[in-house]
């Protein structure tokens, strides 16, 4: 089946272009192991309630044979990450990928500062192929320590903690 993809030509916010891609129907199995990766802002931005924002993030490298989704239960005091944006042209599940921007939905107006924890990315390890042959892969899980600012609203007061 042929589909048209629309993406940015030279990075987020630049001109867009369309291209055709051949897509095959595939199946995948999800491993019982997930990896959680913090999504940390790499820029300062004032967000307005109800206006979708694109926020730059520290580079997140995603291993091959994975699908990702943001956890909306963990968020910034001013909103949550609805989706992530891959570096360059979107790749395939089987390829390594990187993420450097997110789609952010502000639930209140305010500032997102560089270094703020704005969300958590769930990385699901998968095996692709014909349904009769897919076996969950042995995941390569990494453990890292990162520094970020936590934000929350308590009794109507915005609080930030290192």
Which residue, 29, 25, 93, is CA-closest to 63? 93
- Does the pLDDT at position 132 exceed 50? no
Coil/strand/helix, residue 110 = strand
Tokens of 56: 């730059």
pLDDT above 60 (res 130): no
pLDDT value of residue 127: 79
pLDDT digits (tens, 9 = 90+) for 9-62: 777 777 887 888 887 777 778 878 788 999 999 999 999 998 999 999 999 999
pTM higher than the cut 0.75: yes
**pLDDT tens column, 71-96:** 977 889 999 999 999 988 777 888 89
User: 155 or 24: whose pLDDT is higher?
Assistant: 155
Is residue 60 packed enough to be buried (19+ CB in 10 Å), middle (13-18) or exposed (0-12)?
buried
As a whole-number percent, the residues of the chain with pLDDT over 70 amount to 91
In the chain, where the domains are located = 27-161
Q: How confident is the model at residue 149 (pLDDT cuts 50, 70, 90)?
A: confident
Contact 117/38 with Cβ under 8 angstroms?
yes
Nearest alpha carbon to residue 161 among 153, 149, 147, 152: 149
pLDDT of residue 131: 47
Query: What pLDDT was estimated at residue 157?
Result: 84
CATH 2.70.40 correct for 27-161? yes
Tokens of 138: 């042995």
pLDDT for the residue 138:
61
For a pLDDT cut of 90, what percent of the chain falls above it?
Answer: 42
- Res 139: pLDDT: 61
């Amino acid at each position: 089946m042929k589909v048209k993809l629309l993406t940015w030509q030279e990075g987020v916010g630049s001109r867009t272009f369309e291209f055709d891609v051949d897509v095959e129907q595939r199946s995948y199995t999800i491993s019982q192991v997930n990896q959680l990766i913090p999504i940390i802002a790499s820029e300062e931005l004032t967000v307005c309630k109800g206006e979708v924002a694109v926020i730059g993030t520290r580079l997140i490298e995603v291993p091959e044979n994975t699908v990702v989704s943001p956890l909306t239960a963990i968020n910034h005091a001013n909103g949550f990450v609805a989706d992530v944006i891959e570096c360059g042209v979107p790749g395939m599940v089987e390829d390594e990928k990187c993420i450097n921007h997110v789609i952010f939905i502000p639930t209140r107006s305010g500032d997102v500062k560089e270094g703020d924890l704005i969300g958590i990315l769930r990385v699901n390890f998968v095996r692709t192929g014909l349904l009769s042959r897919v076996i969950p892969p042995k995941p390569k899980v990494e453990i890292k320590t990162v520094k970020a600012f936590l934000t929350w609203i308590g009794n109507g007061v915005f609080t930030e903690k290192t």
